[in-house]
Structure 1
Amino acid sequence: MLYRIAEPQDWQHAQLTGFFTSADLKAEGFIHSSERSQILETARRYYPGRLDLVLLEWDEDALIAAGVRVEREWVESRQEFFAHVFGPVPLTAIRRHWVFAPDATGQFRLPEEL
């Protein structure tokens, strides 16, 4: 499974259109996503204090079956590979989603189900 910390308006738009898209897809040609082990550091770096986020879980096999290319590319600033999704994500590939906000101490935590 791959994960995306999503803006609420992008998630709402996906529910209306059947496909998740984001500003990074338009600007860079792919949607940034993470492995499970990368979620919390991504949240800490890029979303401190945000209370309105959604964490999406999508099935890489379902993406590939839908013809959406996924490539792991080296990200120098993080010194690790990240999964980049080269196209809109069909809702059929999104398995679960959660409200994703920091706890009372300001720290993000993974949903218990993960």
Structure 2
Amino acid sequence: MLYRIAEPADWAQAQQTGIFASPNLAAEGFIHCSEQHQILETARRYYPGRMGLWLLEWDEAALKAAGVRVEREWVESRQQHFAHVFGPVSLQAIRRVWHLGADATGEFHLPPELRG
């Protein structure tokens, strides 16, 4: 599974159109994603203090079956490979969705279903 932290407006638009396509798809040609072990660090780095976020779980096999290319590319600043999704994501490929918010100290936490 792949995970995307989604802005409220992006998720609302996806629910209206049936596809998720964040602004970085248009700007960079792909949608940034994380694997489960990368979610919290991504949230800390790029979404501090943000409210109303969503965590989307995408089925990578469903993306590939729909012809959406997924590549893992090295991100030097994080010293890890990250999944990049080269196309819009149909809501049919989204398996689960959770609210993602920080606690009173500003710390993000995984949904209970994803905690090891």
- The answer to whether the superposition gives a TM-score over 0.5 is yes
Q: TM-score if structure 2 supplies the norm length?
A: 0.97
Q: Which residue of 1 aligns with 2:7?
A: 7
Counterpart AA for 2:3: Y
Equivalent-residue separation in structure 1 for 2:30 and 2:108 (angstroms): 25
- After TM superposition, which residue ranges in structure 1, 4 or more long, deviate above 3 angstroms? none
Matches within 5 A, 1:1-114: 1-114=1-114
In structure 2, list runs of 5 or more residues that go unmatched: none
1:88 is displaced (CA, Å) by 0.1
Given residue 21 of structure 1, which amino acid in structure 2 is its aligned partner? Answer: A
Aligned AA (1:110):
L
Q: Which segments of 5 or more consecutive residues in structure 1 lack a partner in the other structure?
A: none
SS of the aligned residue for 2:44 comes to helix
TM norm structure 1: 0.98
Shift of 1:104: 1.6
Give 2:79's aligned amino acid. Q
How large is the RMSD of aligned CA atoms in angstroms? 0.5
C-alpha separation between the residues in 2 aligned to 1:65 and 1:53?
28
Counterpart of 1:57 in structure 2: which amino acid?
E
User: Percent identity among equivalent residues?
Assistant: 75
- Aligned pair count reads 114
